[in-house]
């Protein structure tokens, strides 16, 4: 990461103001269009969250991890605010989880992405070896707008 002061990145519980910023981005993403703010708040409360902040303490990046801290982790909701993208911040957020002592030795990490494979592949993520083993139940429009 370059171009200005290095952001601080830490695992922390998002504040109400952080939830507002995270919600504003997530509600316009392809994976959670229209997501209600209270759902974002509940998801954050029940997950590990990593936040990147600028030198003034403002949220500029976020990622969420659903995990049992023993065998499995699902990486989701990786966002970098507009104007802060293209500097390696997304990878740095994910690397914070990968390096966390409570997450060492997990059997499987998963994520889903439509267009950011290049962000995650350098961190070791690969396409599923046996996708036919995985199944899902998917609501096509959980928040009133179709997801993709």
pLDDT one-digit tens code per residue, 63-96: 999 999 999 999 999 999 999 999 999 999 999 9
* CA 114 centroid distance within chain: 14
Write down the pLDDT at residue 145: 82
Cut 0.85: pTM above it: yes
Give the pLDDT band of residue 6 (cuts 50, 70, 90): confident
Domain ranges of the chain: 8-133
Q: How many Cα atoms within 13 Å fall on the side-chain side of residue 87?
A: 18
Instruction: Report the pLDDT value the prediction gives residue 3, as an integer from 0 to 100.
Output: 56
pLDDT digits (tens, 9 = 90+) for 121-140: 999 999 999 999 999 998 88
CA distance 51 to 69: 19
Q: Which of 78, 82, 58, 77 is nearest to 7 (CA)?
A: 58
Binning pLDDT at 50, 70 and 90, where does residue 148 land?
A: confident
Burial 132-145 (b: 16+ CB within 10 A, else e): eeeeeeeeeeeeee
Class of the 8-133 domain?
A: alpha beta
Classify the C-alpha dihedral 70-103-94-132 as positive or negative: negative
Q: Answer yes or no: is pLDDT of 1 > 80.
A: no
Q: Among 1-5, 11-15, 71-75, 144-148, where is mean pLDDT lowest?
A: 1-5
């Amino acid at each position: 990461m370059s171009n200005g002061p290095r952001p601080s990145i830490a695992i922390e519980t998002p504040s109400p103001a952080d939830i507002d910023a995270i919600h504003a981005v997530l509600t316009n993403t392809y994976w959670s269009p229209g997501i209600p703010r209270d759902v974002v708040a509940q998801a954050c409360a029940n997950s590990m969250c990593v936040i990147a902040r600028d030198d003034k303490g403002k949220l500029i990046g976020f990622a969420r991890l659903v995990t049992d801290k023993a065998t499995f982790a699902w990486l989701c909701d990786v966002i970098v605010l507009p104007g802060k993208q293209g500097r390696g911040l997304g990878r740095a957020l994910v690397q914070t989880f990968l390096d966390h002592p409570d997450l060492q030795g997990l059997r499987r990490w998963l994520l889903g992405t439509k267009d950011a494979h290049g962000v995650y592949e350098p961190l070791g993520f690969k396409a599923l070896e046996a996708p036919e083993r995985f199944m899902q139940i998917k609501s096509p429009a959980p928040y009133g707008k179709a997801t993709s």
